[in-house]
Structure formats: structure tokens, C-alpha cells
Structure 1
Amino acid sequence: MLFTREGGLTARSLPLSLLLFAAWQAGSGQLHYSVPEEAKHGTFVGRIAQDLGLELAELVPRLFRVASKERGDLLEVNLQNGILFVNSRIDREELCGRSAECSIHLEVIVDRPLQVFHVEVKVEDINDNPPVFRGREQRIFIPENRQLDSRFPIEGAADSDIGANALLTYTLSPNDYFSLDVQGSDELSKSLLLRLRKSLDREETPEFRLLLRATDGGKPELEDTAHLLISVLDVNDNPPMFDQALYRVHLLETTVNGTSVITLNASDADGGVNGEVVFSFGNDVSPNIQEKFKIDPSSGEIRLIDNLDYEETKLYEIQVKAVDKGSPAMSNHCKVLVKVLDVNDNGPEVAITSLSLPIREDAPFSTVIAVISVSDLDSGVNGEVTCSLSHHIPFKLMSTFKNYYSLVLDSALDRETLSNYEVVVTARDGGSPSLSASATVSVEVADVNDNAPVFAQPEYTVFVKENNPPGSHIFTVCARDADAQENALVSYSLVEWRVGERALSSYVSVHAESGKVFALQPLDHEELELLQFQVSARDSGVPSLGSNVTLQVFVLDENDNAPVLLGLGASGTSNMVNELVSRSVGAGHVVTKLRAVDADSGYNAWLSYELQPAEGGARNPFRVGLYTGEISTTRALDESDASRQLLLVLVKDHGEPVLTATATVLVSLVESGQAPQASLRALAGDSGPEVTLIDINIYLIIAICAVSSLLVLTLLLYMALRCSTVTTKGVGRPGKPTLVCSSEVGSWSYSQQRGQRVCSGEGAPKTDLMAFSPGLSPGLGTSEGNEHAEANSDRSCNVSLNLRFGFRFLS
């Protein structure tokens, strides 16, 4: 673009494409553009989205944004077309001063996934600043006796631009006495000198008025002018002379205040007052130099009066003037070049520009968590920064660009092991001694439902007394989930099974939140000894995870069933048994045997028999076995004994409270030889015909055969039912009848309950065989001991096949 003298845009403009360029540097990953300063709002800079390989449609969803450490409002991106354009006025001189290189560094950040691009926009100088003289008029005093080719320093102009735009050329209005002499080097600014070409004659020309013009090298050219007022002096004809025209000094930026920088020496060939020299800074010395240094007018010593900072100013160019005290005074100039040496006095700086937190514990490796930038104001080795992380963490740093790093996931995370990481990023420069800085990134790990609820043990055994109240609490299950929040919220439910013909849920229930298990109905030990089922615990995560625990609920027996006399009637009723006994029998003769069973188990089913005392306190010739139920004679019968003996037998269990049943035995005493016929009459009745003993044996054989046939039929039916129930999964097994066998040492009780014992539906039904061996009482009579001894051969239980029915044959 072409600019006018005042710095504005002309009507003529070169094609914008000649001033802009965009190219990826090989391997650097940085995008470069350029734009001239003072460009108008909306000026095209580059198609940044296209050059970064991004689709226009994804700029807004991915939160495309541009950030800048400098003026963030200078450049902007149109999210509709992806074009980078000038948003506000760019003044290169305001942005970078006199620096030869001036650029704006942009960070382009997009999310989902997080990406950071670096864009460098070079600001190119235009000739928008004319040369400027500090003073519009300069007064110069020159003795008339100065030799030809003498040179006198004059102040030049300053141009804020750089390069060719700041390359100044000077012209002097035409005259015969003076010309311009410009001196300069790569380190120094140009020194402008006025050269004497013709001898002066104060009497002829005491004063000269010349016009000095400064023109820069820009297009269009800009210029400024200053007036030179030259007065020709007489008298003092020897100026002070410095040892050298240029002095070089090196100072560390940590040099303390008051340090002597250099002592200048200027001699004057004149004598007296004309040879006395006064030192001072030149008129064009900047205020910054006057704040940092001072010069002793008499000695010429320059001292440091303020702190130096290499990062602020690297070079000071000081012009020193030596003026004698002659009249008119004569002067000379020299330059002192002070170079500031860098010291490692600036630590690195760490900045975290972007964060993507929290991070899921199942995040893949190389997931970007944060973008980190480091910087150091020092130069050279002192400004070279390296980054490191704290040890033993699942993260690492990846360099994405010079002094830019990405914090990425390097190994697997487990929130249940550690849910938060304090990641310390340490930046260290290469100085000696090295300086460092650190920043902490708190990385929170988000929970994932990767842990199922866990019970303390896989199986629990619970004991519940039967006849419990409906809805009673019998147990509480508890499962722990190592996850957090919803993923650790556990709910409980029953794993449904069939218990016989009924559902498990009709027996028990579980509270979904507390895990309390309730019995919905009273349990009956005689129907159900063991209730085995599973409770499931599931969390609320997605997907849900769960586990099961097995509960074995044993129903404990209570004494809720009274003894039942077999073949005599219901429990609790008076039962009558008629027996005929010959008066000739001796002691120990077995009259009959009572058989009783109890539906309970254990001690509750352990039965004992007691014979109630006879009325009037008469001595009873009979006794009953405590555990066998056998009624036998205690002595030989005689004529004094009543012909009809009424015996009351009490049957008791050992439960709490004790339950009983009673039986009445009517014993008729008959004479020897009449007992069989009397027995037959008792069987047939007084009105029936008499039956011989042979007929009685026939009836007995028929009865035994009938019972055997019934036994075989029952066995077949049982086997058929057993086979059918085994094939049905989840259905409880039917119980077996109860068998009680007596002996002198106790009552053997075998029970297979009538109801379902196990609700798990697996395994064969269990049997229950218990033996009770109570010790004999020390007070037991001899006749009682003889009873046990005589009945010893008749106290066994014959168990047949799987039914294990007990039969006892008494002769």
C-alpha cells in the first residue's frame, strides 16, 4: 500500500496479495502472515481456517478462538468464512518501537478435541513517520581562525520508522563556506557534521543562516527542516581535544549504583582560562541516559546513578561535550558506547493457557489435559528453559512448539486408587546459577462405573425361629461399591426362585435401599427347615453392575407340636387300649407297648412315658418304660389284684413349654387258660361266635400280608414321586414321614419333614437323624434296670429302603 506524506492511504493501492503471504515452515507447525501497519479495519490477512486444515462448519461447535499475549483486539477471525482480518489500528512504532522485527503472536485454540496452533503475523513498516528535528533552530559558534576541513557537530533528525523508511539523507542550502559530512557505522547512529570548506572572516561575514533538510527513504518521501544559525567568533582558537573519538564500556546489568563507568580526558592547547575544560552531556542526549548516568563537569568522570536492566535497554550511546572557558568558548565532542551485559536475573514464567478437566478414569493415552507455555526475559543460555513434571504421576509433557507444551495422559487412571493429582510443572533456565519457577495443575479424575457392588462374604447363614410374626426383620445385607455418586448408589432385590409351588417372594422380601430382609409370613420348621435364596445388589451406573449373595435361612424348631400316640387318636384326647393278662405271668411280662411321635425335632421331639399313680395309693403291679413306652409287670400277679386295672400313661416331650398326651390302658386279669379266648372275645365282642386259636393265627397272617402289600404299594408310589420331583428344578422336595425308635438309652428320631426343606432347587433333600442318650437316674430302681435289660433285644429299628419306616415285631 502507498502512503501519503501525512501517513494516510493514497487512492492508489497495490494488490493486497503482494503484501500478504501464508506458509507453513517445515517441521515448525507455525503459520506465518504479514500485514502492513495502519491497515484499515477489515483488511484481509489470511484464510486461517483453510490454512490450518479446519472445516468452516466446525469452527463454532469446536469453540474456535484466537488469543494473543499482546494487543488481543488488533486481529480477529470471521467465524463464518474463517478469514483473519484487521480489527483495529495497528501502529508498528507503538507496538515494537525501533525494533527491526515486529510481529504479533496468536494462539489459535479449538476444543473437542483440544488443539493449539501458533500463528505469527509480521507487521510491516510503512513510511508513516517523517523525520523530526528536535529543535527548529540550532546555534553554532565557530572561531574565525578555525582551519579548513574543521568539522562541527550538529543535531540530526530522528525517524520512528525502520529500514529504508528511516534511512535519512541530509541536504544543506547552497553556500560557499560549509558542507555536510555524515559519519556512521552498524552500531552507531549517523553523526552529522558541518565541514568548513572556506576560511572565515568575521569582519566580512559575522553570521550565516542555512537551511538543513532531512529526507527519509520511504515512498512517498517525507522530510523535515531545521535552521542553522552560525556565528563567527574571534579570539580562542584552540578547542579541547579528546584522546579518542569513541569510548567503549561494558557493564553487567547488576552493576550497583554509584559505580564509575569511565573518566574522560580532554586537553586544550590554550593556556589560562582558555585551556580550562568543562564536561557535559550533549544536547541530544535522551532523558533515559540522563536518568541512568551523570558526568562530573570538572573531572569528566561518568558514574551510574540508576539500576540497569538488560531486558529494557541493551545499549547506551552517550555524547559528551568538552567546552573550554575561553571567550568565545570552544568545544569538542566524543561518544561513549555503554553495552549492558545480561545476567541471569529473571526466572522462568509458567502459564497454563487451557484446561480440559476433569478427566475420565478410562480416558485413552495421550489425551490432552492442559496447554502450558513458558518464557524467560533473559537472553542466550540464561533464557533457554526446560520443563519437567513431578515424579510418579500418570502424565507427561509433550513439546508442541518452542516453549509450548501439552500435558497428556501417559498411563492408566483409577479413581478408586487416587481421585486427584497435584501436578507440579517446573521450568528451569540454563543460567548459572539456574533459576526456576513452578505451577500446579490440579487434575481431578472423573468416576466411571467400573466397580460392581461387593458383599463382605459370598454367603450368609441366618437362624430364624419358626412362628415368627409376619413382616419381621430377619437379616440385613450390605454391599459396598468403590465408585462414587450414582455409580456407588446400590439397590437390592431378590433373585426369584420357586419354592415348591410358591414363589420365593411370598416368603421373603428385601428393602431396595437398606438391604433389610423381611419374612412376609410365619415360617414353619415342620414345613420348611432351610430357605436358601440369593439377593442381588446393583449400582445405578450406566451400564449397571451387580453381584449376588446367598442367604441360607435355617428355621429353628419351637415346641409347637404335642406328642401323638400312633393308632390311638389325636393329641390331647383320652385314648383307650384294652389288654388281657393272665394272672399267672411273672415279673417283667410285657403287657403292651405304646408308640408316640412328635412332629418337632431335637429335644422338642424327645419323648418320655410316665405312669400316673393308682387311685387310693394302691401299689400298682405295672410300670411303663421311661423311653420305650412298654408296659410290663413289676411282680407276679396274685388273687388280691383287681381283675380290671386302669392305667393312665402320660407322654411328654422335652420342649419349652412341655407338651403332653395321655393314653388309658385297661388291663383285664384272667385266669390261666382263659386269656386267649377272652382276648378273642374282646376282639369279636360278647355277641360274636367263639373263635379258636388257629383262627386267630390265620387272621394274623392275613393282616401281615395286607400290611406288606400296602408297604410295597407305598414304596412304588414314593419312588415315582421322587423321580418326578428330582427333574423339576427350583421346586422343594416333599418331606418324609417321621420315624422314632426307642431304646433303653434314649429315643432315636429320624425326620424328613413333610414340607419343602430347601428352596434353592439344587441338591438332594437332606435327612435328619438324631440320637439322644440321657443318663440313667441314680435313683432308678432295680426293676427298672431289669426292664431295660430284658427289652434290650427288642429295641431296634428296622429301616427299609429309602422310606426308612420302622417296624417292630413283638411276640
Structure 2
Amino acid sequence: MMMQAQLHCLCLFTLYLTTGYGQEGKFSGPLKPMTFSIFEGQGPSQIIFQFKASPLAVTFKLTGETDDIFQIQPDGLLYHNKALDRETRAVHKLQVSALDAHGNTVEGPVPITIEVKDINDNRPVFLQPKYEGSVRQNSRPGSQELDPLKNPFYNLVVSVEDMGGQKEHSFSDSTSVDITVKENIWKAPEPVEIEENSTNPYPIKITQVQWNDPGALYSLVDKEKPSKFPFLIDQEGDIYVTQPLDREEKDAYVFYAVAKDEHGKPLAFPLQIQVKVKDINDNPPTCPSTVTVLEVQENEQIGSSIGTLIAHDMDEENTVNSVLRYRIVDQTPKVPRDGLFLVQTYLGTFQLAVQSLRKRDTPQYNLTVEVSDKDFKTLCFVQINIIDINDQIPIFEKPDYGNLTLPEDTAIGTVILTIQATDADEPHTGSSKILYRITQGDSEGRLEIETDPETNTGYVKVKKPLDFEAVAVHNIVFQAENPEPLVLGVQYNASSSATFRLTVTDVNEAPQFSQQVYQAKVSEDVAKGTKVGNVTAKDPEGLDISYSLRGDKRGWLKIDPVTGEIFSVAPLDREAESLYRVQVVATEVGGASLSSTAQLHLTLMDVNDNPPRLAKEYTGLFFCYPPKAPESLIFEATDDDQQSFRGRHFTFSLGSESLQKDWEVSKINGTHASLSTKHTDFEERVYHIPVRINDGGRPPLEGTVSLPVTFCKCVEDSCFQPAGHMPGIPTVGVTVGVLLTTFLVIGIILAVVFFQIKKNKGQRNVESAQASEVKPLRN
């Protein structure tokens, strides 16, 4: 026994040395709570950790869930002497205590947790060597091909493998499964036809469904969820219709039969039930409207189609129940005879049967038409209007409207002539309405004619200004026409035309510019005397023209009075006015000196002629004094040039190199930068920091700005201002200085007075002493 213990200690000692245990570090350390993870199945005598204790401890004690597996050596070496089994115990809770030579606890007990990590050391096992089951034909997904007539029985071998079958050391097991295929009687029935409006007693059984096993609970589901559902199912699976159906209301129904178990769980997929409503002839024909109105021209040929009456039957289309027949049963009036019209029996199209009609005889016919199906008849009414044809041309009341003289400045819209033609066709129709147009003598469209729709009177008006210089005499030809085409064989002739002579007299007119607005562009930095534009005007009477400018408020331009050329006479400035508008005046030389005006819009194109500047006045920049750390403030730059020209990409730098040890300027983006302090050694005063800003233009322009930054004592994030201190009032320091000076002057005066008093008192004392000395001499 002693020999076995010595051998065991020797083995541990050997393992202890070869594995590096005993060295301070990963596998040894002070006594404290710890957790270890150990794989199950490892061999015995596996060292876990070596604990170190205070010098007073001479041995260690292990307690808790050791299960005779875990032990500890007197020197603190914790190990296990048997293989661990996670399935027996997954976690061991231990306690380790350090003892002195008398067995007293020096440290601990300290909790130690051993977690047993799993390894794949158990194979999967089926609970029984053989299984039996059954499946219904087409009862669930994956079994659609099962047919009990072909293969009523299947024997399967099912295997199971752990670790997902991906490990080399996985375990497996297998078993036998016998499957019997049974017929599935849960099948959708054939579509059902139900005759509409049946008089049989309800409910009426229409079909049946049945689950494979007894005890199923049946219900019907309609996905459309109608307001009324005329079907039900009993618990035998019989499906009934509960009320008469109307095909014209709904011609087909599709719903589903559902089978559930006693817990409300569906046993299989729902079965679709299809019901078609069979039509019966239960609807009479209906007319499209109270009266169907058709039209026919009075010169229409025999056999011409006049129009169609389309009646409707709500019974099923393309069946004998909805085939309609048409028959004329009455014509009013029967002049010049009865039977003037025919109707096609199955189409309802009307034709002229005998002869052409004349509106003057009868302007309207009323027909009564019988529309029938195989069981019902309906009377519909048709009105046929006889339309007049355009067989009469307009005729002017006189062929010549004489001469008229007008000045060329006659106002637009002035009625200068009234014309009249008449038409013998039916009044207030397209055949008798007259439209007037000018076919000769007004190629430029200076005149227009408006027609009174009631009287067909034509009013000739001035549409555009008359122009003596262009045309002095207009020989006008008027044409009167109908909007409706004339019938074949009838044509317009000289009776539909009339003439008129218009003489235009000259009026002295003002010069006319070639355009009312002249556009010009020029760069703002052009030299004085540069031509910037040109205008032209003509006098209708051919007089010379003198040009001048009006509204040149900045005195930038001058115009050549003869040629109309415009020049710059002073520096232009886009930033002052980017679009410069002036009026150009053209005055005729001689005559009545009439004038007219046009606009000159001069667009000034930008050049980079403005240095950058601050976007606003920065007067309230401050840092709290004394500063505790370097700080920054942000400022923005801009300039007056166009943004598209300069692109707003400024660069920033300090205006003096001597400031670089105290200040720093950093660019944030194209328009913003920050001014930062580099230390905290600043005085309580105002610093004026010069900053150079460059716009990067062509050519680049640079400006230097000054940022006033104040270091001041702060109260609530703002500079402290003493109460009552206003500009012009002395500060506290000045006041104290004045007071001290006053006190000093007063002190000097008091000292002089005191010295003088003391001096006078001394003289009096001398005189008194001398008097005392003399007195004895007088005795």
C-alpha cells in the first residue's frame, strides 16, 4: 500500500515537472475563486492547478462535490484521479482551504468551479427496433404519387447520425419502418349546377364531402365574404343550398369545405366546391332608353341604314333565353304612306324601305317596336327626325358694297362695314348658317369678319393696324359659305360673292424700332468708349431719325444720335447694377418730331474685382479670462463677386508672422475658418488679429481683415460688465486713482499746516524762556 502511494506521488511529480506546473503563471497562482473547464473522458492523474498560500499555510484542504475524483496535494496541487463524465455531473462545486501546522484555516475556503465539457461519447439510439404507420393517398405534401392500388405497402430503413454526419467520429443507429398506404376519400366533388329560382323546398342537398376517419368537424369558408352565403354543411359532410339563387345577381360560387379535429386543427387542405347557377328565361327584354332618337337626311336613298335599336336581356348571353327579335308594330304619322321603314329582325337596324323623305311633308316619325325573346315581349319607342339637306347657297343682298376711305391709324376693333347674305335652307341649322371670309385684297390679314349667329349679319372689323405705306388701296372680295357641305350637284356661284374697295390715307407716324427690347452683354471691366450695343428704327414717312438715351441714371452710356450705336463713357460696375436698363428714344427729324421708345437691357458680366471681406461685423468675439485651455472661434468670409465666378473657395492665413506663436487660422470649408489660441498666456484686454483672405480668382484678390478678440472675466458665458458703467464714465481704477491723489494732496496740506503750527508754537516757547531769563535781571 505504501509502495502504491509512493508510485502515485512519483507519477504526479513526473507529470508536474514535464507539464511545467509549479511555475508561477498560467497553471499556478494565489488562492482565489476560479473556474476551470475540463473535457470529459480524459485519463486519471490530470493536474488542474497549483494554489499558492501565505507562509503560515503548510497544507491545503479540498471539500465539496469531489465525487472521489478531485484531490489536492499538501503543496496545493489540484488534480483529478478519474475520467470525468458530463452526463453524470456537468458541474462540480469545490472549496479549497489553506491550513497551518495545527490544522487551522489560514485562507479560504475559496469556491472552485469545475465545468465538464462535452465530447461525443454517446451514440443515438432509436427507442424501438421497428415502427409501423399509415398514410392516406394525396393527404399531405410529398405523398401525391402514392397509390394504394399500385403500392399498398412500403418498408423503410431510417438511420440517424449525430454531429450532423460531418465528423469523422460521429455515431449512428437505424431502425425499420412499415408504411401502409390507404385510399384518401377527402376529395373535391365534381362541379355542381343549380337551376336559378327553383321552387323546390329548401334546403336542397347539392353534394357531399367526407373525411377519411369519423369524428371530423366540417365547415364552409367563402373567401369573398358576401353579405349572404346561401350554403351550409352538416356534420355528415352533406352540403346544402338554403335559398333560391338568381343567376343575374351571381352566376357562380366558389367556396371551400374544411375538416378539423376536435381541437379545431385542420386535418388537411380545404376542398374547393364549385357551384354554377343555371339560367332560366326569367327576364323580359329591356329598352335602352325611353325613346331612341335617330336621324335621316331627306335625300337618303332606299335601303340606307338609319340607325340601330339595341335592346338588352339579362338572361345568359349566347343562349336561347337572350336571343331577341325586333318588329315594327306602328308608324306615326302614316304619310305619305305606312311602312316607310324596315327593321332587321335580329340586329335591330332600321332602313329606309320605300322612298326618299321630305322634311316639309313630315319632319318627324314615331315608331313602336316590339322586342321579344322566346317567352317575353317588350315595346320600345323610336323617334326618327328628318334632317334638311344643304341644297341652297347663301346669296348676298348686293354684289358691291362700294368705296370706303379710312386713315391708317383707325383703331383695332373698329367695325368699318356691315354685310348681309341669306340662305333658304332650314333656319338655325348647319345648312343655313353663313360664314364669311375674305378671299382677295387682304393678304396680310388686317381685317376680320364676325357673324351674328341669329341674323347671319357680317361685321367687318380692323384686326391689325392699317398701313398706308404698305398698301394704300384694298380691293376686297367677300365669300359667303355654309359650314355644312353642299349636296352633290350644287355649287357656290357669283351670288355668294361681293366686292368692296377700301382706301387707306396716310397719317404721320412715329418712328418704329425693329424690336421693343434690345439685349446686350459686356464685361464690367471694359474700357471707356467700348461699343456695347446698337439699335435701329425707321420712320414710316422716310424722315431722318435722331437717337437719344433716357434713364441713364449712372451716366455709364452714350448713343450716337445718327447711327444708334451705344458706347460706355464711364467705368461699369456689376456689383452696383448687374442688369442696367435704359430707354432708347428715336425722334423723327422734321415733320411733327414724333418719337418712340425701346428698351436696352445691358447685362454686365462679372470679373474678379472685389477682394474678400468678412461676411458680417464681428464685434462680440471673446474668450473668458483667465483662459484654461486653447480655444477657437469661427468666422465667415465673402466677397461681392458672383458666386459662380469665384466659386466661394477662400484661403485663410494670419496677417502677421509675429502672431504665429500665439494664434492659428485653420480653414473649415470654402467660406468658413477658425481662429484658435495656441496657449493660455494672454492678458485681459482686446487683441486685434489681422487675417488674410484670398479668393483664388483670376487674377486672385486678397484682403486683410481684423478680428477683435477680447479676453474678459465671464459671468454666465458672457463678459462681465460692472453695474452702472457707461461710456464716458470713469472706471473703478480711474476713480480709485483720483481718490488717492485727492487724499495725497489733502495729506500734504495737513502736513504743512501741522508743521507751521508746530513752528509757531516753538517760537512762542523761546520767547517765553527769554522772558523768564530777563525777569530776574529786572529785579
TM-score (norm: length of structure 2): 0.24
TM-score (norm: length of structure 1): 0.23
Query: RCO (CA 8 Å, sep 6+): is it higher in 1 or 2?
Result: 1
